[in-house]
């Protein structure tokens, strides 16, 4: 399993924006080259067929423009992963999550079944398409939604119609709300709105720990779910709450308590959760809430392997896009579990799965800024390669063209941020401490340049409105888009120059420590 997700409500951020973010991590032994692209409405398919599922879906005729980060190699599908559309709605898909046998037996996943035999033979069986999955979701959802909640509604409808072949969590954001949806078996789903003053850490496990069926089947202010969820749960004996729990006293739906913990009912509780999933959430919650007695001190409620970690928490300080990038790059810094540290033992330093792992192919921090001119509210901070060694570039999303440096080929090249950051990570890793000063300076300088670009571009757009009467709410205004594209290009050029300098520095450091090094004073 792969990926780590972080979500932040607007009252928990430093600027009142919403943030949804995720490390897109490849499976063990694989590294996917990634592109950043802008997709125009005329380039969006009207009939979509999944490579893995062989499922064909007819898509609406009115797609929005959007940016995303698909695979460079399309032979296994698009895998668009994360992006923002021209309605300033963000989407990240997906966080691979776990389930249990009871759930998958009650609503099996919809896997592709290849054809058997030859056409015309008496025993021939035609292929059966699978459901939808990570390969498809951004492409078939993001261009058609105008709010985060609409994202949940569209995905829920697609799940109920076509099913899914895998368990996933998906995040949506707009200028007010962040919603998170989790698939339950083949066709069912639940969703919860992130409280405005909270943040969420979501590793590869079902995370939502509260469902209010009264709201989900009624006003849908903070919760949503499949319409038949309570009946399905009752029919398949999926309620595991104890009747003595005071929180369960009250309304019921088909015998299911109106308020229950869906993680207990639908998720896994295995040793893999304890070493692969839970430690990531434990570490980040403790880092963002450094004085919380729940995570610190001799009587801490939660520890590294706790199965009941909260889904959301109120942070002790307001969180920025910079903070999110830093959190998603971490390797249990300052603990005995840090693979680059000198605390603990060799065993403890590799006991738990890192957040900033070697096989991250991209991390997108999707930021919707309500105070900015509407044409510039969507910003995708995109980072390629392994988090501890890379940087994030602040890219305005309401554009038609992406700087060349943010694209990639399948061949290794120094003309691509993806490959440059991959090279830097591989060279710097063996001499981590010798290189970290240069890398930290690079990260700070490039991200500061990103913030500078945001401030300058907002001001330029406001000036354009004042002097030329340009409507800042017109997402198709060519003059405004040109300013955004120019800002993206200028920042990309600056990042490219700084990345080239860093590559030279880490190459020099690695060269000094080659095994065949020998000087006249070495003996």
- Reading the block at residue 114, the tokens are 């290849």
The sheet carrying 4-8 orders its strands as 312-313, 199-202, 4-8, 18-25, 360-368, 378-384, 393-396
Task: Centre a 10 Å sphere on the Cβ of residue 438 and count the other Cβ atoms it contains.
Answer: 18
- Reading the block at residue 410, the tokens are 């399948």
The secondary element (H helix, E strand) that includes residue 443 is helix 432-468
Closest CA to 278 of 323, 308, 314: 308
Closest CA to 21 of 69, 86, 93, 85: 93
Rounded to whole angstroms, how far apart are CA atoms 511 and 10?
Answer: 46
* Rounded (10°) CA dihedral 485, 69, 381, 352: -170
- Reading the block at residue 179, the tokens are 């919603």
SS (H, E, C) 263-279: HHHHCCCCHHHHHHHHH
Residue 94, preceding peptide bond in cis (omega within 30° of 0): yes
Cβ atoms of residues 205 and 278 within 8 Å: yes
Closest CA to 313 of 282, 337, 355, 269: 282
Cβ atoms of residues 188 and 226 within 8 Å: yes
Active site residue 3: yes
Strands (E), 223-299: 223-225, 252-253, 256-257, 259-260
Q: Which residues pair with 464 in a beta bridge?
A: none
In residues, how long is the chain?
Answer: 523
Q: Catalytic residue, from 3, 225, 312, 363: name it.
A: 3
Cβ atoms of residues 362 and 24 within 8 Å: yes
Active-site amino acid positions:
3
């Amino acid at each position: 399993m792969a990926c780590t997700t972080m979500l932040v409500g607007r009252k928990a951020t430093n600027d009142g924006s919403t943030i949804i973010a995720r490390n897109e991590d490849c499976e063990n032994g694989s590294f996917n080259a990634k592109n950043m692209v802008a997709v125009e409405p005329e380039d969006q398919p009207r009939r979509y067929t999944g490579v893995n599922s062989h499922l064909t879906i007819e898509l609406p005729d009115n797609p929005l423009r959007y940016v995303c980060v698909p695979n460079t190699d399309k032979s296994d599908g698009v895998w668009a992963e994360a992006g923002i559309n021209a309605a300033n709605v963000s989407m990240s898909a997906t966080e691979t999550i776990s389930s249990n046998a009871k759930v998958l037996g009650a609503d099996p996943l919809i896997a592709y079944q290849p054809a058997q035999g030859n056409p015309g033979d008496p025993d021939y069986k035609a292929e059966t398409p699978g459901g939808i999955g990570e390969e498809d979701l951004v492409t078939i959802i993001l261009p058609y939604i105008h709010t985060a909640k609409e994202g949940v509604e569209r995905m829920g409808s697609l799940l109920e119609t076509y099913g899914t072949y895998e368990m996933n969590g998906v995040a949506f954001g707009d200028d007010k709300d962040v919603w998170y949806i989790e698939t339950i078996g083949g066709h069912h789903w639940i969703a919860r709105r992130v409280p405005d003053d909270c943040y969420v850490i979501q590793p590869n496990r079902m995370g939502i720990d509260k469902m209010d069926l009264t709201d989900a089947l009624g006003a849908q202010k903070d919760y949503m779910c499949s319409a038949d969820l309570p009946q399905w749960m009752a029919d398949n004996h999926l309620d595991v709450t104890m009747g003595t729990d005071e929180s369960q006293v009250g309304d019921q739906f088909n015998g299911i308590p109106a308020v229950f913990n869906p993680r207990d009912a639908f998720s896994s509780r295995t040793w893999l959760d304890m070493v692969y999933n839970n430690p990531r959430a434990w570490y980040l919650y403790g880092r963002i809430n450094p004085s919380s007695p729940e995570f610190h001190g001799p009587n801490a409620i939660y520890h590294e392997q706790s199965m009941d970690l909260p889904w959301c928490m109120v942070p002790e300080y307001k969180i920025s896009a910079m903070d999110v990038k830093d959190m998603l790059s971490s390797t249990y810094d300052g603990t005995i579990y840090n693979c680059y540290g000198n605390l603990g033992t060799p065993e403890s330093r590799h006991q738990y799965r890192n957040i900033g792992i070697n096989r991250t192919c991209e991390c997108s921090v999707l930021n919707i800024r309500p105070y900015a001119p509407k044409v510039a509210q969507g910003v995708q901070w995109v980072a390629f390669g392994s988090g501890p060694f890379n940087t994030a570039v602040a890219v305005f999303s309401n554009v038609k063209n992406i700087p060349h440096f943010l694209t990639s080929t399948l061949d290794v090249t120094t003309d691509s941020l993806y490959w440059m950051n991959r090279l830097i990570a591989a060279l710097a890793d063996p001499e981590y401490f010798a290189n970290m000063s240069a890398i930290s300076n690079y990260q700070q300088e490039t991200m500061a340049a990103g913030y500078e670009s945001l401030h300058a571009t907002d001001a330029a757009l406001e000036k354009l409105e004042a002097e030329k009467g340009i409507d800042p709410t017109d997402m198709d205004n060519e003059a405004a888009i040109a300013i955004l594209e120019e800002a993206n290009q200028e920042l990309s050029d600056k990042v490219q120059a700084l990345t080239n300098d860093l590559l030279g520095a880490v190459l020099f450091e690695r060269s000094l420590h080659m095994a065949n090094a020998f000087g006249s004073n070495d003996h």
